[in-house]
Amino acid sequence: MILGTCSGAGKSLITTAICRYLYRKGENPIPFKGQNMSNNAWVDKNNGEMAYSQAVQAWAAGAEPISAMNPVLLKPQGDCTSEVIHLGKSVGISKAATYYEEWFVSGWSAIKHGLTELNSINNFTRFVLEGAGSPVEVNLQYRDLTNLRLANHLKANCVLVADIERGGVFAQIIGTLALLKPNERDLIKGIIINRFRGDIALFDEGRKWIENETKKPVLGIMPWLNEIFPPEDSLDLLERKSMKSNTEIKIVVIRLPSLSNFSDLDPLEAEPSVQLIWIAPGEQLGNPNAVIIPGSKQTLKDLEKLKASGLAEQIKAFAASGGIVFGICGGLQMLGNELEDPLGLENSLEEKLNYKFSGLRLLSIKTSFERKKTLSRRNVIALWPKKSEVSGFELHHGKSLLSKSLENDLMPLPMFNTPELGWISAKKSHLNVAGSYLHGIFENGEWRRLWLNEVRRSSKLKDLPIINYNHSDKREEIIERLTDVLEENINLTPLLSK
Protein backbone atom coordinates (compact mmCIF):
# COMPACT_ATOMS: atom_id res chain seq x y z
CA MET A 1 0.00 0.00 0.00
CA ILE A 2 1.24 3.44 -0.98
CA LEU A 3 0.50 6.01 1.74
CA GLY A 4 1.46 9.68 1.68
CA THR A 5 2.44 12.20 4.28
CA CYS A 6 -0.04 14.61 2.66
CA SER A 7 -2.32 15.06 -0.32
CA GLY A 8 -0.36 15.44 -3.53
CA ALA A 9 2.73 13.66 -2.23
CA GLY A 10 2.85 11.57 -5.41
CA LYS A 11 0.99 8.43 -4.38
CA SER A 12 -0.78 7.99 -7.73
CA LEU A 13 2.46 8.30 -9.67
CA ILE A 14 4.36 5.87 -7.44
CA THR A 15 1.45 3.39 -7.52
CA THR A 16 1.39 3.53 -11.32
CA ALA A 17 5.13 2.88 -11.57
CA ILE A 18 4.99 -0.01 -9.08
CA CYS A 19 2.15 -1.61 -11.07
CA ARG A 20 4.26 -1.52 -14.23
CA TYR A 21 7.38 -2.70 -12.32
CA LEU A 22 5.52 -5.79 -11.08
CA TYR A 23 4.03 -6.41 -14.52
CA ARG A 24 7.53 -6.34 -15.98
CA LYS A 25 8.56 -8.96 -13.43
CA GLY A 26 5.86 -11.33 -14.69
CA GLU A 27 3.25 -10.61 -12.03
CA ASN A 28 -0.40 -9.72 -12.59
CA PRO A 29 -0.95 -6.94 -10.04
CA ILE A 30 -4.31 -5.25 -9.47
CA PRO A 31 -4.44 -1.54 -8.55
CA PHE A 32 -7.00 -0.58 -5.93
CA LYS A 33 -8.10 2.66 -4.30
CA GLY A 34 -10.99 2.12 -1.91
CA GLN A 35 -12.30 5.67 -2.12
CA ASN A 36 -11.35 8.45 -4.50
CA MET A 37 -12.72 11.95 -4.92
CA SER A 38 -12.48 13.11 -8.52
CA ASN A 39 -14.48 14.42 -11.44
CA ASN A 40 -11.91 12.94 -13.79
CA ALA A 41 -13.65 9.67 -14.57
CA TRP A 42 -13.40 6.66 -16.87
CA VAL A 43 -16.13 4.27 -18.04
CA ASP A 44 -15.22 0.58 -17.90
CA LYS A 45 -16.29 -2.21 -20.26
CA ASN A 46 -19.38 -2.86 -18.10
CA ASN A 47 -20.43 0.81 -18.30
CA GLY A 48 -19.34 1.49 -14.71
CA GLU A 49 -17.68 4.71 -13.53
CA MET A 50 -14.25 4.79 -11.90
CA ALA A 51 -11.54 7.38 -11.32
CA TYR A 52 -9.30 7.93 -14.33
CA SER A 53 -6.18 7.54 -12.15
CA GLN A 54 -7.13 3.94 -11.36
CA ALA A 55 -7.70 3.30 -15.08
CA VAL A 56 -4.15 4.54 -15.75
CA GLN A 57 -2.83 2.24 -13.01
CA ALA A 58 -4.71 -0.69 -14.53
CA TRP A 59 -3.12 -0.03 -17.92
CA ALA A 60 0.26 0.11 -16.17
CA ALA A 61 -0.50 -3.28 -14.61
CA GLY A 62 -1.44 -4.75 -17.99
CA ALA A 63 -5.04 -5.11 -16.82
CA GLU A 64 -8.45 -4.04 -18.11
CA PRO A 65 -9.77 -1.18 -15.94
CA ILE A 66 -12.90 -2.18 -14.01
CA SER A 67 -14.85 -0.14 -11.47
CA ALA A 68 -14.13 -2.65 -8.65
CA MET A 69 -10.61 -1.16 -8.63
CA ASN A 70 -12.20 2.06 -7.30
CA PRO A 71 -15.36 0.87 -5.52
CA VAL A 72 -16.20 4.25 -3.97
CA LEU A 73 -15.96 7.35 -6.16
CA LEU A 74 -17.11 10.76 -4.95
CA LYS A 75 -17.76 13.33 -7.68
CA PRO A 76 -17.90 16.88 -6.24
CA GLN A 77 -20.68 19.05 -7.64
CA GLY A 78 -20.38 22.22 -5.58
CA ASP A 79 -22.15 23.50 -2.48
CA CYS A 80 -20.33 20.88 -0.35
CA THR A 81 -22.17 18.04 -2.06
CA SER A 82 -20.94 15.07 -4.08
CA GLU A 83 -22.45 12.37 -6.23
CA VAL A 84 -21.73 8.98 -4.65
CA ILE A 85 -20.68 6.14 -6.97
CA HIS A 86 -20.50 2.59 -5.58
CA LEU A 87 -18.99 -0.15 -7.75
CA GLY A 88 -19.46 1.94 -10.87
CA LYS A 89 -23.09 2.97 -10.30
CA SER A 90 -24.54 6.22 -8.98
CA VAL A 91 -26.27 5.60 -5.63
CA GLY A 92 -27.11 9.09 -4.43
CA ILE A 93 -26.03 12.59 -3.48
CA SER A 94 -24.34 13.37 -0.18
CA LYS A 95 -23.56 16.50 1.78
CA ALA A 96 -20.06 16.66 3.19
CA ALA A 97 -21.33 17.20 6.74
CA THR A 98 -23.35 13.98 6.77
CA TYR A 99 -21.34 11.80 4.39
CA TYR A 100 -19.82 9.41 6.91
CA GLU A 101 -22.98 9.18 8.98
CA GLU A 102 -25.01 8.19 5.91
CA TRP A 103 -22.50 6.39 3.70
CA PHE A 104 -19.74 4.85 5.83
CA VAL A 105 -21.33 1.42 6.27
CA SER A 106 -22.38 1.02 2.63
CA GLY A 107 -19.04 2.44 1.48
CA TRP A 108 -17.05 -0.14 3.47
CA SER A 109 -19.36 -2.85 2.12
CA ALA A 110 -18.67 -1.66 -1.46
CA ILE A 111 -14.92 -1.75 -0.78
CA LYS A 112 -15.06 -5.33 0.52
CA HIS A 113 -17.24 -6.34 -2.42
CA GLY A 114 -14.69 -4.81 -4.80
CA LEU A 115 -11.86 -6.75 -3.14
CA THR A 116 -13.84 -9.98 -3.43
CA GLU A 117 -14.59 -9.38 -7.11
CA LEU A 118 -10.94 -8.64 -7.89
CA ASN A 119 -9.74 -11.66 -5.92
CA SER A 120 -11.67 -13.86 -8.33
CA ILE A 121 -9.60 -12.76 -11.32
CA ASN A 122 -7.49 -15.55 -12.80
CA ASN A 123 -3.69 -15.29 -12.37
CA PHE A 124 -4.08 -12.41 -9.91
CA THR A 125 -0.86 -12.01 -7.88
CA ARG A 126 -1.17 -9.05 -5.49
CA PHE A 127 -3.00 -5.81 -4.82
CA VAL A 128 -1.21 -2.49 -5.19
CA LEU A 129 -3.25 -0.18 -2.98
CA GLU A 130 -3.25 3.60 -3.11
CA GLY A 131 -4.16 5.61 -0.04
CA ALA A 132 -5.84 9.02 0.01
CA GLY A 133 -4.53 12.23 1.52
CA SER A 134 -2.77 11.64 4.82
CA PRO A 135 -3.45 8.49 6.86
CA VAL A 136 -3.20 10.36 10.17
CA GLU A 137 -5.87 13.05 10.05
CA VAL A 138 -6.73 12.42 13.70
CA ASN A 139 -10.23 13.94 13.52
CA LEU A 140 -11.13 11.62 10.62
CA GLN A 141 -9.23 8.41 11.34
CA TYR A 142 -12.12 6.59 13.01
CA ARG A 143 -14.16 6.89 9.81
CA ASP A 144 -11.38 6.61 7.24
CA LEU A 145 -12.37 4.19 4.48
CA THR A 146 -9.29 3.93 2.34
CA ASN A 147 -6.05 4.22 4.35
CA LEU A 148 -5.26 2.39 7.60
CA ARG A 149 -8.61 0.59 7.87
CA LEU A 150 -7.90 -1.02 4.51
CA ALA A 151 -4.21 -1.59 5.27
CA ASN A 152 -5.09 -3.37 8.52
CA HIS A 153 -7.87 -5.34 6.83
CA LEU A 154 -5.43 -6.76 4.30
CA LYS A 155 -2.29 -6.64 6.49
CA ALA A 156 -0.64 -4.74 3.66
CA ASN A 157 3.05 -3.94 3.45
CA CYS A 158 2.99 -0.13 3.40
CA VAL A 159 5.37 2.49 2.06
CA LEU A 160 5.20 6.12 3.15
CA VAL A 161 5.79 8.69 0.41
CA ALA A 162 6.99 12.16 1.43
CA ASP A 163 7.23 15.16 -0.91
CA ILE A 164 10.53 16.98 -0.37
CA GLU A 165 9.53 19.68 -2.88
CA ARG A 166 7.00 21.03 -0.35
CA GLY A 167 9.67 21.47 2.31
CA GLY A 168 9.67 20.12 5.85
CA VAL A 169 10.21 16.53 4.73
CA PHE A 170 11.69 15.44 8.08
CA ALA A 171 8.69 16.79 9.98
CA GLN A 172 6.34 15.18 7.45
CA ILE A 173 7.83 11.75 8.10
CA ILE A 174 8.40 11.97 11.85
CA GLY A 175 4.99 13.54 12.46
CA THR A 176 3.13 10.95 10.39
CA LEU A 177 4.85 8.00 12.07
CA ALA A 178 4.33 9.51 15.52
CA LEU A 179 0.57 9.70 14.97
CA LEU A 180 0.29 6.04 13.95
CA LYS A 181 -0.71 3.42 16.49
CA PRO A 182 2.00 0.78 17.17
CA ASN A 183 0.26 -1.89 15.07
CA GLU A 184 -0.18 0.60 12.23
CA ARG A 185 3.44 1.73 12.43
CA ASP A 186 4.52 -1.92 12.11
CA LEU A 187 2.84 -2.01 8.70
CA ILE A 188 5.23 0.65 7.36
CA LYS A 189 8.06 -1.21 5.64
CA GLY A 190 9.88 1.77 4.18
CA ILE A 191 9.91 5.40 3.10
CA ILE A 192 10.22 7.01 -0.33
CA ILE A 193 11.39 10.60 -0.71
CA ASN A 194 9.67 12.07 -3.76
CA ARG A 195 10.45 15.01 -6.09
CA PHE A 196 14.10 15.61 -5.16
CA ARG A 197 15.87 18.29 -7.21
CA GLY A 198 19.55 18.08 -8.02
CA ASP A 199 22.21 15.59 -6.92
CA ILE A 200 20.58 12.83 -4.84
CA ALA A 201 23.94 12.15 -3.12
CA LEU A 202 23.51 15.47 -1.33
CA PHE A 203 20.72 13.90 0.72
CA ASP A 204 22.87 11.05 2.11
CA GLU A 205 23.07 12.61 5.59
CA GLY A 206 19.33 13.28 5.60
CA ARG A 207 18.65 9.71 4.59
CA LYS A 208 20.81 8.34 7.41
CA TRP A 209 19.11 10.63 9.95
CA ILE A 210 15.63 9.48 8.87
CA GLU A 211 16.61 5.80 9.11
CA ASN A 212 18.23 6.27 12.54
CA GLU A 213 15.26 8.18 13.93
CA THR A 214 12.46 6.06 12.48
CA LYS A 215 14.12 2.62 12.31
CA LYS A 216 12.52 2.40 8.86
CA PRO A 217 14.57 2.04 5.66
CA VAL A 218 14.51 4.79 3.06
CA LEU A 219 13.76 2.71 -0.02
CA GLY A 220 15.00 5.41 -2.33
CA ILE A 221 14.66 8.95 -3.61
CA MET A 222 12.60 9.77 -6.69
CA PRO A 223 14.01 12.71 -8.67
CA TRP A 224 12.08 15.77 -9.82
CA LEU A 225 10.54 14.45 -13.04
CA ASN A 226 10.22 17.83 -14.77
CA GLU A 227 13.97 17.67 -15.30
CA ILE A 228 13.71 14.21 -16.92
CA PHE A 229 10.66 14.35 -19.18
CA PRO A 230 10.55 16.82 -22.09
CA PRO A 231 7.61 19.25 -22.33
CA GLU A 232 5.85 17.34 -25.11
CA ASP A 233 5.56 14.35 -22.76
CA SER A 234 3.47 16.31 -20.29
CA LEU A 235 0.47 14.35 -18.96
CA ASP A 236 -1.84 14.57 -16.00
CA LEU A 237 -0.20 11.22 -15.27
CA LEU A 238 2.94 13.19 -14.45
CA GLU A 239 0.94 15.61 -12.30
CA ARG A 240 1.85 18.72 -14.23
CA LYS A 241 1.05 20.76 -17.29
CA SER A 242 3.86 21.77 -19.62
CA MET A 243 5.32 25.22 -20.13
CA LYS A 244 6.19 25.00 -23.81
CA SER A 245 7.64 27.78 -25.92
CA ASN A 246 7.93 28.28 -29.68
CA THR A 247 4.62 26.54 -30.37
CA GLU A 248 2.63 27.30 -33.51
CA ILE A 249 -0.90 26.97 -32.12
CA LYS A 250 -2.42 28.40 -28.96
CA ILE A 251 -5.67 26.78 -27.84
CA VAL A 252 -7.65 28.34 -25.01
CA VAL A 253 -9.35 25.80 -22.74
CA ILE A 254 -12.07 27.18 -20.49
CA ARG A 255 -11.31 26.24 -16.88
CA LEU A 256 -14.90 25.77 -15.77
CA PRO A 257 -15.58 25.99 -12.01
CA SER A 258 -16.97 22.42 -12.09
CA LEU A 259 -14.50 21.12 -14.68
CA SER A 260 -14.66 17.37 -15.28
CA ASN A 261 -12.67 14.87 -17.34
CA PHE A 262 -9.76 17.26 -17.88
CA SER A 263 -7.71 14.26 -19.06
CA ASP A 264 -9.59 14.70 -22.36
CA LEU A 265 -7.08 17.46 -23.09
CA ASP A 266 -3.89 15.51 -22.30
CA PRO A 267 -3.41 14.34 -25.91
CA LEU A 268 -3.39 17.96 -27.11
CA GLU A 269 -0.97 18.88 -24.31
CA ALA A 270 1.37 16.21 -25.67
CA GLU A 271 1.34 17.67 -29.19
CA PRO A 272 4.69 19.50 -29.65
CA SER A 273 3.18 22.29 -31.78
CA VAL A 274 0.30 23.07 -29.38
CA GLN A 275 0.19 25.27 -26.30
CA LEU A 276 -2.91 24.96 -24.12
CA ILE A 277 -3.87 28.12 -22.24
CA TRP A 278 -6.37 27.52 -19.42
CA ILE A 279 -8.53 30.53 -18.53
CA ALA A 280 -11.29 30.88 -15.96
CA PRO A 281 -14.48 32.98 -16.11
CA GLY A 282 -13.44 36.57 -15.47
CA GLU A 283 -10.27 36.29 -17.55
CA GLN A 284 -9.88 37.51 -21.12
CA LEU A 285 -10.15 35.12 -24.05
CA GLY A 286 -7.40 36.84 -25.98
CA ASN A 287 -6.70 35.89 -29.57
CA PRO A 288 -6.18 32.12 -29.67
CA ASN A 289 -6.20 29.81 -32.68
CA ALA A 290 -9.09 27.82 -31.19
CA VAL A 291 -11.25 27.54 -28.05
CA ILE A 292 -12.31 24.34 -26.26
CA ILE A 293 -15.10 24.15 -23.70
CA PRO A 294 -14.53 20.88 -21.78
CA GLY A 295 -16.84 18.76 -19.66
CA SER A 296 -18.61 20.01 -16.53
CA LYS A 297 -20.11 18.32 -13.50
CA GLN A 298 -22.54 21.26 -13.19
CA THR A 299 -23.25 22.41 -16.74
CA LEU A 300 -25.93 24.98 -15.93
CA LYS A 301 -24.02 26.58 -13.08
CA ASP A 302 -20.89 26.82 -15.20
CA LEU A 303 -22.86 28.23 -18.13
CA GLU A 304 -24.25 30.95 -15.87
CA LYS A 305 -20.69 31.73 -14.71
CA LEU A 306 -19.60 32.14 -18.33
CA LYS A 307 -22.46 34.55 -18.96
CA ALA A 308 -22.04 36.57 -15.77
CA SER A 309 -18.30 36.99 -16.34
CA GLY A 310 -18.65 38.15 -19.93
CA LEU A 311 -16.64 35.19 -21.21
CA ALA A 312 -19.71 33.78 -22.99
CA GLU A 313 -19.95 36.90 -25.16
CA GLN A 314 -16.24 36.71 -25.94
CA ILE A 315 -16.61 33.09 -27.08
CA LYS A 316 -19.61 33.99 -29.24
CA ALA A 317 -17.74 36.90 -30.83
CA PHE A 318 -14.76 34.64 -31.49
CA ALA A 319 -17.01 32.09 -33.22
CA ALA A 320 -18.80 34.82 -35.23
CA SER A 321 -15.44 35.94 -36.58
CA GLY A 322 -14.78 32.41 -37.87
CA GLY A 323 -12.82 31.23 -34.83
CA ILE A 324 -12.86 27.48 -34.19
CA VAL A 325 -14.80 26.45 -31.07
CA PHE A 326 -15.13 22.86 -29.86
CA GLY A 327 -17.20 21.55 -26.95
CA ILE A 328 -16.92 18.23 -25.13
CA CYS A 329 -19.95 16.80 -23.29
CA GLY A 330 -21.06 19.66 -21.00
CA GLY A 331 -19.22 22.01 -23.36
CA LEU A 332 -21.30 20.66 -26.24
CA GLN A 333 -24.50 21.26 -24.25
CA MET A 334 -23.48 24.87 -23.54
CA LEU A 335 -23.00 25.53 -27.27
CA GLY A 336 -26.68 24.79 -27.94
CA ASN A 337 -29.75 27.00 -28.13
CA GLU A 338 -31.53 25.77 -25.02
CA LEU A 339 -31.03 23.55 -21.98
CA GLU A 340 -33.90 22.18 -19.88
CA ASP A 341 -33.67 20.78 -16.35
CA PRO A 342 -37.26 19.97 -15.31
CA LEU A 343 -36.13 17.57 -12.55
CA GLY A 344 -33.69 20.03 -10.98
CA LEU A 345 -30.82 17.56 -11.44
CA GLU A 346 -28.28 20.33 -11.88
CA ASN A 347 -29.55 22.03 -8.70
CA SER A 348 -28.87 25.35 -10.35
CA LEU A 349 -31.90 27.35 -9.29
CA GLU A 350 -33.23 28.78 -6.08
CA GLU A 351 -36.69 28.48 -7.64
CA LYS A 352 -37.38 25.19 -9.37
CA LEU A 353 -40.22 26.77 -11.36
CA ASN A 354 -37.83 28.05 -13.99
CA TYR A 355 -36.03 25.18 -15.62
CA LYS A 356 -35.24 26.50 -19.10
CA PHE A 357 -31.89 28.09 -19.87
CA SER A 358 -30.50 29.78 -22.93
CA GLY A 359 -27.22 28.34 -24.22
CA LEU A 360 -24.51 30.10 -26.22
CA ARG A 361 -26.68 29.58 -29.33
CA LEU A 362 -23.76 28.51 -31.51
CA LEU A 363 -25.25 25.11 -32.38
CA SER A 364 -28.94 24.55 -33.12
CA ILE A 365 -29.46 21.81 -30.55
CA LYS A 366 -31.60 21.49 -27.45
CA THR A 367 -30.56 19.53 -24.35
CA SER A 368 -32.85 18.02 -21.71
CA PHE A 369 -31.41 16.63 -18.48
CA GLU A 370 -32.78 13.22 -17.51
CA ARG A 371 -32.38 11.22 -14.33
CA LYS A 372 -30.82 8.22 -16.03
CA LYS A 373 -27.15 8.72 -16.76
CA THR A 374 -25.73 7.67 -20.13
CA LEU A 375 -22.64 5.49 -19.61
CA SER A 376 -21.26 3.76 -22.66
CA ARG A 377 -18.04 2.87 -24.47
CA ARG A 378 -18.21 3.78 -28.15
CA ASN A 379 -16.48 2.80 -31.40
CA VAL A 380 -17.86 4.92 -34.25
CA ILE A 381 -17.00 6.50 -37.59
CA ALA A 382 -16.28 10.23 -37.56
CA LEU A 383 -17.62 12.02 -40.64
CA TRP A 384 -15.76 15.28 -39.94
CA PRO A 385 -13.16 16.64 -40.55
CA LYS A 386 -12.71 13.52 -42.68
CA LYS A 387 -13.99 9.98 -42.38
CA SER A 388 -12.04 8.12 -39.69
CA GLU A 389 -12.51 5.52 -36.97
CA VAL A 390 -12.68 6.85 -33.40
CA SER A 391 -13.31 5.43 -29.94
CA GLY A 392 -14.18 6.95 -26.58
CA PHE A 393 -16.93 6.91 -23.98
CA GLU A 394 -20.12 8.72 -23.03
CA LEU A 395 -20.71 9.94 -19.47
CA HIS A 396 -23.58 12.42 -19.15
CA HIS A 397 -27.15 13.06 -17.96
CA GLY A 398 -28.42 15.31 -20.73
CA LYS A 399 -29.71 14.21 -24.13
CA SER A 400 -29.42 16.56 -27.08
CA LEU A 401 -31.49 16.82 -30.26
CA LEU A 402 -31.58 19.20 -33.20
CA SER A 403 -33.71 22.27 -32.56
CA LYS A 404 -35.16 24.96 -34.78
CA SER A 405 -32.61 26.80 -36.88
CA LEU A 406 -31.66 30.38 -36.00
CA GLU A 407 -32.15 33.14 -38.58
CA ASN A 408 -30.73 31.85 -41.85
CA ASP A 409 -28.35 29.33 -40.32
CA LEU A 410 -28.23 25.80 -41.65
CA MET A 411 -29.05 22.95 -39.33
CA PRO A 412 -25.98 21.36 -37.72
CA LEU A 413 -24.44 18.38 -39.46
CA PRO A 414 -23.74 15.12 -37.61
CA MET A 415 -20.12 14.57 -36.64
CA PHE A 416 -20.43 10.78 -36.54
CA ASN A 417 -22.34 7.95 -38.16
CA THR A 418 -24.17 7.84 -34.81
CA PRO A 419 -25.84 11.28 -35.05
CA GLU A 420 -26.64 11.89 -31.38
CA LEU A 421 -22.94 11.86 -30.43
CA GLY A 422 -22.08 15.28 -31.85
CA TRP A 423 -22.69 18.01 -34.41
CA ILE A 424 -20.93 20.60 -36.55
CA SER A 425 -22.27 24.04 -37.40
CA ALA A 426 -22.93 24.92 -41.04
CA LYS A 427 -23.08 28.70 -41.01
CA LYS A 428 -22.19 30.57 -44.19
CA SER A 429 -20.11 27.60 -45.36
CA HIS A 430 -18.03 27.69 -42.13
CA LEU A 431 -17.65 24.51 -40.10
CA ASN A 432 -16.03 26.35 -37.24
CA VAL A 433 -18.23 25.32 -34.27
CA ALA A 434 -18.52 21.67 -33.27
CA GLY A 435 -19.12 19.54 -30.20
CA SER A 436 -19.22 15.93 -29.12
CA TYR A 437 -20.41 13.78 -26.24
CA LEU A 438 -17.42 11.52 -26.82
CA HIS A 439 -14.87 11.73 -24.01
CA GLY A 440 -11.44 10.70 -25.22
CA ILE A 441 -12.03 12.02 -28.75
CA PHE A 442 -8.55 13.56 -28.85
CA GLU A 443 -6.97 10.23 -27.86
CA ASN A 444 -7.51 9.12 -31.47
CA GLY A 445 -4.33 10.16 -33.28
CA GLU A 446 -5.75 10.36 -36.81
CA TRP A 447 -8.83 12.36 -35.77
CA ARG A 448 -6.79 14.66 -33.50
CA ARG A 449 -4.44 15.60 -36.33
CA LEU A 450 -7.36 16.09 -38.74
CA TRP A 451 -8.93 18.53 -36.28
CA LEU A 452 -5.63 20.28 -35.61
CA ASN A 453 -5.17 20.74 -39.35
CA GLU A 454 -8.55 22.48 -39.47
CA VAL A 455 -7.20 24.86 -36.83
CA ARG A 456 -3.92 25.28 -38.65
CA ARG A 457 -5.58 26.05 -42.00
CA SER A 458 -7.71 28.72 -40.34
CA SER A 459 -4.42 30.29 -39.19
CA LYS A 460 -2.74 29.81 -42.58
CA LEU A 461 -0.31 27.17 -41.29
CA LYS A 462 0.78 24.03 -43.12
CA ASP A 463 -0.90 20.74 -42.31
CA LEU A 464 0.67 18.30 -39.87
CA PRO A 465 1.19 14.74 -41.11
CA ILE A 466 -1.74 12.43 -40.30
CA ILE A 467 -0.73 9.69 -37.85
CA ASN A 468 -2.25 6.42 -36.70
CA TYR A 469 -0.49 6.84 -33.39
CA ASN A 470 -3.02 7.08 -30.56
CA HIS A 471 -2.39 8.81 -27.27
CA SER A 472 -2.51 5.44 -25.48
CA ASP A 473 0.79 4.65 -27.22
CA LYS A 474 2.32 7.85 -25.84
CA ARG A 475 0.97 7.02 -22.40
CA GLU A 476 2.59 3.58 -22.61
CA GLU A 477 5.95 5.13 -23.46
CA ILE A 478 5.73 7.49 -20.50
CA ILE A 479 4.72 4.73 -18.07
CA GLU A 480 7.70 2.70 -19.28
CA ARG A 481 10.11 5.59 -18.80
CA LEU A 482 8.58 6.46 -15.44
CA THR A 483 9.11 2.87 -14.31
CA ASP A 484 12.72 3.00 -15.52
CA VAL A 485 13.23 5.95 -13.16
CA LEU A 486 11.60 4.02 -10.31
CA GLU A 487 13.79 0.95 -10.89
CA GLU A 488 16.93 3.09 -10.98
CA ASN A 489 16.17 4.86 -7.71
CA ILE A 490 13.88 2.71 -5.49
CA ASN A 491 14.51 -0.66 -3.82
CA LEU A 492 11.11 -2.36 -3.55
CA THR A 493 12.36 -5.61 -1.99
CA PRO A 494 11.10 -4.81 1.55
CA LEU A 495 7.61 -4.22 0.15
CA LEU A 496 7.43 -7.43 -1.85
CA SER A 497 8.11 -9.86 1.00
CA LYS A 498 5.17 -12.00 2.01
Q: Is 395 helix (H, G, I), strand (E, B) or coil?
A: strand
CATH numbers and ranges of domains, the chain: 2-223 (3.40.50.300), 231-475 (3.40.50.880)
Strand order in 188-196's β-sheet? 2-4, 158-163, 188-196, 218-223
Predicted local distance difference test score (pLDDT) of residue 148: 93
Cα 188 to Cα 203: distance, rounded to the nearest angstrom? 21
One-letter amino acid for residue 174 of the chain:
I
CB 280 within 8 A of CB 253: no
Q: Is 139 helix (H, G, I), strand (E, B) or coil?
A: coil
Regions in the chain scoring below 70 on pLDDT = 226-244, 347-354, 404-410, 427-431, 498
User: What is the per-residue pLDDT across 145-203, written as a single tens digit (0 to 9) for each?
Assistant: 999 999 999 999 999 999 999 899 999 999 999 999 999 999 999 999 999 998 999 99
Predicted local distance difference test score (pLDDT) of residue 497: 75
Cα 23 to Cα 493: distance, rounded to the nearest angstrom? 15
Predicted local distance difference test score (pLDDT) of residue 343: 81
Cα 57 to Cα 60: distance, rounded to the nearest angstrom? 5
Reduced 3-state DSSP string for 84-118:
EEECCEEEEEEEHHHHHHHHHHHHHHHHHHHHHHH
Predicted local distance difference test score (pLDDT) of residue 236: 44
User: What is the per-residue pLDDT across 295-349, written as a single tens digit (0 to 9) for each?
Assistant: 999 999 999 999 999 999 999 999 999 999 999 999 999 999 999 988 877 754 4
Long-range contact set of residues 373-379: C-beta below 8 Å, sequence gap at least 24: 373/90, 373/397, 374/399, 374/437, 375/43, 375/47, 375/48, 375/49, 376/43, 376/47, 377/43, 377/45, 377/47, 378/418, 378/421, 378/438
Reduced 3-state DSSP string for 297-343:
CCHHHHHHHHHHHCHHHHHHHHHHCCCEEEEECHHHHHHCCEEECCC
Predicted local distance difference test score (pLDDT) of residue 246: 81
Cα 50 to Cα 114: distance, rounded to the nearest angstrom? 12
Q: Which residues are catalytic?
A: 329, 439
Predicted local distance difference test score (pLDDT) of residue 312: 97
Look up the pTM and report it: 0.92
